[in-house]
Amino acid sequence: MRFNPPSEKDAWHAIGPLEGLSEDLRRAFLPNGDFEPIPLPGPNDWLAVHDEPGQTFLDFVRSRPNGPDALRNTIYLQLLDYLHSSSVPPIDRLVQFTEAFFAMNANLLPELATSSRRITRRINPYTHHEQLLTRDILRLLVEHLPEDAFCVVAMTMRDLYPGPAWNFAFGEASLRDRVGVYSFARYDPAFYGIDSSDRDHVLLRRSCKVLAHETSHMFGIHHCIYFKCLMNGSNHLEESDRRPMHLCPVDLRKLHYSIGFDITERYQKLLDFARAVHFDDEAQWLSRRLGRIEAPLPTRTNRREEHAR
């Protein structure tokens, strides 16, 4: 199993045919130099150890993905044991980011304390941190699933494990039940004993990425092999940090197909957010991308004139 990065032609092919789309959408789905090709994976990287066939836009449409509808149209964020944790990413920021990224309603559910629930737990023999069993948390989330939930994404600073044979898990989801749980514990530099002056900033950035990546899976979007993209798989923390916070055109088109937002408006809201929380590199990228897709294509004026005649 050896991953060969796709050619530029194959990456463009994965975006799907653009004929028949409005000029605005065509501009939004054309890479135009704003998306880097996916590099050859290093020996421990995701694509070196996982066989990923890739999912083109048309593959996605054919999979009849789960999308929001009139009844289920809210993304719920569920905090688990958050109030007991010393350093947590600010909740209001996570809600704002979710709303901007998915252009959908995002609501916070009342905090759940696991101490009063039947959740299997253990002390990890290596880190000596207490860990919670993901399966029990998923069951709890299903029991509390609101009627209008498109999905529920639970977040905790507790460490997680998926079963006795495993050391730990960053998280786990049940796409069928539309629930997932993710731990930010190992995204906190302090977990590794690192005393970082920008701890809060690093933790917020990583948490936003996890939230967007995992919630995009809830929409049926698989891992991306076409560009450097938020939906690239990740095998370790350094690889997660390398992923950009934005979707490539293939995956943006999938999300747009499911939700149907205004792409410029969505980018603008993400830009406002990135500026507010000082995600400077992402703000720079968003601002450049917005400029590019708002600028008229060279043929636009001609075409308008043709229609006018």
Closest distance of CB 72 from Zn ion, Å: 22
DSSP state for residue 260 in the 8-state scheme: -
CA–CA separation, 219 and 214 (whole Å)? 9
Closest distance of CB 121 from Zn ion, Å: 25
Closest distance of CB 300 from Zn ion, Å: 27
Q: Quick one: 48 or 108, whose CB is closer to Zn ion?
A: 48
Which residues on adjacent β-strands are paired with residue 130? 123
H or E stretch including 24? helix 23-29
Query: Closest by alpha carbon to 223, among 98, 95, 47, 88?
Result: 47
Closest distance of CB 305 from Zn ion, Å: 36
Closest distance of CB 254 from Zn ion, Å: 9
Q: Quick one: 56 or 96, whose CB is closer to Zn ion?
A: 56
8 is a catalytic site residue: no
CA–CA separation, 273 and 279 (whole Å)? 8
Closest distance of CB 120 from Zn ion, Å: 24
Q: Quick one: 158 or 223, whose CB is closer to Zn ion?
A: 223
Query: Any contact of residue 81 with Zn ion (CB under 5 A)?
Result: no
For residue 153, the SS3 value is strand
Total interface residues for Zn ion by CB under 5 A? 6
Query: Any contact of residue 283 with Zn ion (CB under 5 A)?
Result: no
Of residues 201-230, those binding Zn ion (CB under 5 A)? 224, 229
Query: Any contact of residue 270 with Zn ion (CB under 5 A)?
Result: no
H or E stretch including 28? helix 23-29
- CB atoms under 10 Å from CB of 277, counted, come to 20
Burial class from Cβ neighbours inside 10 Å (0-12, 13-18, 19+) for residue 261 reads middle
Among 119, 225, 231, 274, binds Zn ion (CB under 5 A): 231
Q: Quick one: 130 or 241, whose CB is closer to Zn ion?
A: 241
Which residue in 19, 214, 238, 294 is the catalytic one? 214
Q: Quick one: 106 or 218, whose CB is closer to Zn ion?
A: 218
Query: Any contact of residue 159 with Zn ion (CB under 5 A)?
Result: no
**Is the Cβ–Cβ distance between 154 and 143 less than 8 Å?**
no
Q: What value, to the nearest 5°, has the Cα angle with vertex 18 and ends 17 and 23?
A: 175
**Is the Cβ–Cβ distance between 285 and 246 less than 8 Å?**
yes
Q: Quick one: 75 or 248, whose CB is closer to Zn ion?
A: 248
Of residues 240-269, those binding Zn ion (CB under 5 A)? 248, 250-251
CA dist 162 → 138, 168, 195, 293 (Å): 11, 7, 29, 43
Query: Any contact of residue 172 with Zn ion (CB under 5 A)?
Result: no
Enzyme catalytic residues:
214
Provide the binding-site residues for Zn ion, judged by CB under 5 A: 224, 229, 231, 248, 250-251
